Structure 1
Amino acid sequence: MQKIKWGIIGCGDVTEKKSGPAFSKIPGSELVAVMRRDAEKAADYAQRHGVPKWYADADELLNDPEINAIYIATPPDSHHEYTLKALRLGKPVYVEKPMARTAAECDEMVRVSAETGTPLFVAYYRRELPYFIKVKELIDSKAIGELRSVHITLHWPPYVEETGPDAKPRWRVDPTISGGGHFHDLASHQFDFLEYALGPVSYATGISRNQAGLYAADDVVAAAFEFESGVVGTGSWCFTGAKSQRLDQTTLLGTEGKITFSFFEKFTIHLENVDGAQTFEIPYPEHVQQPLIETIVAELLGKGACPSSGETGARANHILEWITS
C-alpha cells in the first residue's frame, strides 16, 4: 500500500476525539469515509471533521474501492459480522474493544484473518500510551524487584442514566449488545495491558453477580488469577457503589517495593522502593488512540509492527469468560 485510506463504520462518541481525527494526522494515512445508520448524523460527522464521503449503509462503505482499511467503532454486537466481511474483502481491520461479545466470536475473527492473510488489530491503545509504557518500564527495570502480586480495584457509582424510575441503561450494560456489562467493557482494557506487561494469564476464576438490579448485566465481580510467570492477582469491580467510595487503583507488589497506578481516571504513577517514593505525572495525548494507530499504519506500510493484534485482543475475552462463567 502507498497510503492507508480508512473508512469508519460507526462514527459515534468514541470517534469524535479519541480516534477519528488521528487517522488523518498520521503520515501515510487518511480518513476518506464514515458510516452511520443515521444518515443525518453521518453527514454531520463528515462535515465537521472534513471527511470527503459518508454512508448510511455499511456494505456500501466496505465495497468502496478507494477504501483499503476499515475501522469498526460500533457496539460489540456487530464487530464479528463487519470484521469478517472486511477481512474477506482483503481490507485490514482495526476493531474497537471489547473485540467481540464472546471469545468464540473473537476466535473466528482471528481464524478468518489468518485464512485470508489480512491483518486484524484491536483498539487496546494502552499498549502504546506513554503513561502505561512507563508502568511497563518500571516493571521491566525491576524498580520494585521481583513482582509478586497484582491487585485491581475499580469501584464506581452507577451512571445517572442507570438509576431512577425513567432509567434507560446504556448499551454497555445490555449483554445482547456488549457481551456483558461494565466489567466486560473496562476489565478488558486492564487484562490486555497486564498481559502485555507481565505475560499470559494462565488461570482465572471469579464470582459475578447482579446485586442492584438496575440492568441485565452483572454489576459486581471478584476475581483471582495467575500469570504463567507465577505472579498472582486479585480483582474487585463494583459499578453500583457509593460516590464517596469511588476508586480506580491497581497495585503491583514486588520484593523491593510497589507501584500504584490508575487505569482510567488519573495520570499519576506512584513508585515506592528502597530509594524512597517517586511520582510520575504523564497525561494522555489529545487523541488517545493515535499512538497505537501510528503503529498500525506503520505495519500496513511495511515500516513497523503493531503490538495489539487479533490474537492478543481475543485473550482478554477469554479471561473475562473464565472469571464470569
Structure 2
Amino acid sequence: MLKRIKWGIIGCGNVTEVKSGPAFNKVSGSQLQIIMRRDASLAESYANRHGVPEWSNKAEDIINHPDVNAVYIATPPGSHAEYAIKAMKAGKAVYVEKPMAANYEQALQMLKVSEETSIPLFVAYYRRTLPGFLKVKGLIEEGAIGQTLYVNMRLIRPAKPYEMTSIENIWRLQAEHSGGGIFYDLASHQLDFMDYLFGPVKAVFGVAANRGGYYEVEDTVSASMQFENGVVGNGIWSFVSPDMVEEDTIEIVGTKGKIQFSGFKHEAIVLYKDGDVIDYPYLNPENIQYNLIKQVVESLQGIGECVSTGQTAIRTNKVMHKIVKDFYQQ
C-alpha cells in the first residue's frame, strides 16, 4: 500500500479549478505534484494559481513522472480510455472523471487493464459521498418511506444560446468526445446514484431523439428500467425545452411516503410522510469532490474503501449505451 499519494492531473479545465483540483492537497497524505494542459500558458497559470510545483503540456510527462503514483484524468470522456490505460500500464492508480468513458466498449477496455495489472481504477461519481445524497440513502435504508416502489427522474431545461450556435468547440455536443449529448454528461450522475441506492439495472429500455435540430447528438431521451432489487424507474431528459419548462427533480416513492430531491441544484431533501413535509437542508464541501477524493486516497493507503470504482461505474456506461444505442444505429 502507498503511504503518500503524489498526484498528476491530465487536463486542467474548469472542473478542476474548484470542484476537484484543490482537494488533492487538502486530504491527509495526498499531494498534487504536477498538472498538464495542452496549452502551456494555461498549464503554467494553473500551477502558479494553485501552488503546484510542476506543470507540462504533455500527458506523457504525467504518466511517466517518477514521483507520481496516481493520475487524475479530467479530459473529455473520449480520451479517458487512452490515458487511463497508459497510466495503469505505467503502474499508476487512476481516478477518472465521469462518465468512465465515451462508450461501453472503452470502459470495458479500461476495466480489463485494471484487473490485469491489479492497478486501482476509480471514477468521479462524487454524489455517492455528498451529505444530501447520503441522507436520501439513509432515509430509504431506515424505512422512512416503507418499501420502495419506484423512482421518477426528470431533468429538463432550455437549450443554452451557445448550444444553438457555435457548437464546434463544445465537446459535450460531439459524440466522439462525450459519448453522446448532454444526456451522457449529466444523466450519468443520476443513473450512477440510482445504482448506488438500488443496485445494478437488470432491464432497461430507452429511446433517444434530436428534436431541437441545433446539433447532431440526441437532445431528448426517455427510459424505463428495473433494478436488481425489484424497484422500477423511469426518466425523461430534455435539453431543448421552452424557457418556461425547466425541472430538476428525482422522486422516490415507497409504500409509506415519498422522497423528493434535485440531482444538480443541491436543494434540501424533502420527505413526504403521514401528511407531514420534512426538509433536510445540507451543505456540500467547498471542493465538491473532496469526500470522494479522500476515499480514493485512503483506499490507496489501505486504510479505507472507495464507493466509486471502475467496477461500479462501468454499469452506468452500459445502461446509457442501451438507452441511446438505437439513435446511433440509424
TM-score normalised over the length of structure 2? 0.96
The alpha carbon displacement at 1:229 in A equals 1.3
Q: Secondary structure at the match of 2:139?
A: helix
Residues 277 and 324 of structure 1: is their aligned pair in 2 closer, same or farther, counting only changes over 3 Å?
A: same
2:303 counterpart of 1:289: no
Aligned to 1:64: 65
Q: Secondary structure at the match of 1:205?
A: strand
Q: Secondary structure at the match of 2:244?
A: helix
The alpha carbon displacement at 1:276 in A equals 1.6
In structure 1, runs of 5+ residues without a counterpart are: none
2:158–2:243 CA contact under 8 A, matched in 1: yes
Structure 1 moving runs of 4+ over 2 Å: 166-169
Aligned to 1:189: 189
CA distance in 1, matches of 2:270, 2:39: 45
1:15-164 alignment runs, 5 A limit: 15-164=16-165
CA distance in 2, matches of 1:287, 1:242: 33
Aligned residues: 324
2:154–2:248 CA contact under 8 A, matched in 1: yes
CA distance in 2, matches of 1:312, 1:78: 20
2:211 counterpart of 1:176: no
1:161–1:169 CA contact under 8 A, matched in 2: no
Q: Secondary structure at the match of 1:100?
A: coil
1:169–1:215 CA contact under 8 A, matched in 2: no
1:161–1:168 CA contact under 8 A, matched in 2: no
Q: Secondary structure at the match of 1:184?
A: helix
The alpha carbon displacement at 1:243 in A equals 2.2
* CA displacement, residues 117-143 of structure 1 (integer Å, 9 cap, x when unaligned): 100000000000111000100111110
The alpha carbon displacement at 1:161 in A equals 0.6
2:132–2:266 CA contact under 8 A, matched in 1: no
CA distance in 1, matches of 2:178, 2:236: 20
* CA displacement, residues 141-194 of structure 1 (integer Å, 9 cap, x when unaligned): 110000000000000111221124x55562101101101011111111111111
1:162–1:168 CA contact under 8 A, matched in 2: no
2:167–2:173 CA contact under 8 A, matched in 1: no
CA distance in 2, matches of 1:316, 1:20: 24
Residues 211 and 275 of structure 1: is their aligned pair in 2 closer, same or farther, counting only changes over 3 Å?
A: closer
Aligned to 1:309: 309
The alpha carbon displacement at 1:318 in A equals 0.2
CA distance in 1, matches of 2:161, 2:47: 30
CA distance in 2, matches of 1:29, 1:169: 34
The alpha carbon displacement at 1:275 in A equals 6.3
CA distance in 1, matches of 2:275, 2:295: 35
Aligned to 1:261: 261
Q: Which has the larger displacement, 55-64 or 167-176?
A: 167-176
* CA displacement, residues 202-224 of structure 1 (integer Å, 9 cap, x when unaligned): 01111100111111110000111
1:69–1:91 CA contact under 8 A, matched in 2: yes
The alpha carbon displacement at 1:70 in A equals 0.2
* CA displacement, residues 30-78 of structure 1 (integer Å, 9 cap, x when unaligned): 0010001100000000000000000111011211101110000000111
Q: Secondary structure at the match of 1:245?
A: coil
RMSD over aligned Cα atoms? 1.0
In structure 2, runs of 5+ residues without a counterpart are: 326-330
Please tell me the residue identity of whatever aligns with 2:200: P
